[in-house]
Structure 1
C-alpha cells in the first residue's frame, strides 16, 4: 500500500480518531457510496466493525442496493452486516425526514457501539453554507462534531475526492446514488453549483476555509455553553416542566450567554428543533417586555402546543390544546 496514497490517508484519519475515542468495536453506517465504502474498508482493518445499511425504500431497487452493500461489507471483513429497512415520513421535508428515519434506525441497531459516519470535509463545508443561508446562528455555522456520541465522523478533515480515489485504489465499485445528482435537493445544488463557483471566484481553498470557520465557531460556542450552564443553574427555580427562569437575573446576563441559557431551558422543558428566530423571540420577553403574550416553540407534543411566557417576573413554559 502506498504510504502517501488515498487509502493510507484515510487509515491515518480513522486511526487518529480511534486513538482519541477508544473502544472495543464500532459500527459504520454504509450506504454503498464512495465515502462510506472507503470508510468501511479502512475501519475493518483497525477494529471489529459491524456495517449498518439503512434502506430508505425511496427508490426502485433499493433493497437490491442494500443487499449489495451488505455483501461488500462482509467481503471487506466486517464481523456483521445488517440491512435496516425504514419508513420515511414527511416532517421537515424529504431530506430531513430521511435523515430522521436513518438516525433512528442506526440508534436502534448499534447495540451500544459508536457509529462511524462518512461525512467528509466537503460535507462540513456544505453544512456551514446551509447554516449561513438560513441565518440560524453561530451554532448552525459550527457544523458537525468529529465525535457527538454515539456518532463519530473520522473523515471530517478529508476531502471527498480522497474517498473516491481510495475506492479506486482498492478496486471497489461504489454505488452512485441518483439523489446525489438531483438538483431538487439543496445540498446537491450547493455541491455542484455554489461551492465550485465560490472556488472559482475566491481562488480555491473555500471548502477548507469553511471547515476551519466551523471549528473556530464550535470552540467559541463550547466556551459560551459552559458559561451559560453555570449562569443558568443559579437562575432556575422549580423542576421538570415547571422550571422557571428569573427574569431580572436573566436580563443582567451578556446576550450571548443569556440566549444559551434560554435555549437550554427550552430544550429541557420539551422543546425541539429550535431556530435562532424563536430563541430571540423568547429573549424579547426579557429585554423588550411590553406585556406581550407567549411565544410558541416547537415540541414533540401531538395534541398540545408548547409556549414560553412571562409571569410574575419569571419565564415559564405552558401548554395549550391544539384547536
Structure 2
C-alpha cells in the first residue's frame, strides 16, 4: 500500500469525521463548512478531469458552476411559487422535493460545455484560456442583466431539494448527500483515468500527433472530457445553490473559475484527491484567516507561490514524496 493512497484515505475519512464530531458537539456551522468543502471539491474534481488528464487549462468553468446553480435556482423558484399557489406548505419546506432538479442542472451544464467546448477546442494554449474566460464573463454579464431572476442582486431560494428518506434541511443529512456525490465522482474519475478513454486522453495531452496516427481524434477526446468536466462542475453548482439557498452572478465570475483552479494547484494537478485537499485548505484559511483580516488572500497567495515553486505535485505530492503526478 503506497503512501499516497494512505494520505488520500486519511483525507477522505477526515472530511467525514469532522461533521460527525461537529454534530456531537452541536456545531451546525462546522457541518456547513464541511459541506462547502465537499461541494467545492466536487467542482475541482470536475475541472481536474479536463486539466489533470486532458491538459485543458480552462478559466471558464465558473460558467458551468453558475449554470448548474441557476438551473437549480430558477426551477426551485418556480416550484415554490407553484406550491404556494396550491397551498402545499410542506413542499415549501423542501422535504418532498426529489433530486430531479440536480439532473436538469447536470444536463444544462453538459449541453453548455458541449457548445463552448466545440468552439473553444479549435484553439489551444493561451487562446483556449482566453476563450473559456470570455464565455464565463459572457454568462456573468448576462446574469447581471437578467432582472426576471434577480439580476445583480441574485435570486433567493426558499426551498431545498429533498432526497428519499432524508431531511435535507438537517445539516448532517445534506452533508451526507454531498459527501456521497463527491466519493462517487472520485471513483468515476479514478475509473476514467484508467480506462482506454482516459489513457487516450492522457496521450493526446502529451503527443496529439501520435494519437492521430493510430486513428483517434484528439479533438473528440478533449471535447468528451470537457463535457464530462462541465457536467460534474454543474452538479456542484446546483448543490452550492442548495446549500446557500441563493444564487448570484458571482457564481459565473472569473474569480470563481480561479478559485476552482487554485483547489487543484494546491492539492496537486492530476492528483485524484488533489481537489479535496485544496478545497479543504482553502475553506480552512478562509474561515480562520478571514476573521483576522479582510486581506487574507495575501497569505493564500504566498502559500500558492510556495506550492508552485517548491511542490509541483501539490500538497499531496509533497506529503507522499512524489512531486509529479504523471509524465
Q: TM-score range by the shorter chain?
A: under 0.3
The structure with higher relative contact order (CA 8 Å, sep 6+) is 2
TM-score, scaled relative to structure 2? 0.25
Query: More helix by proportion, 1 or 2?
Result: 2
Query: More strand by proportion, 1 or 2?
Result: 1
TM-score, scaled relative to structure 1? 0.25
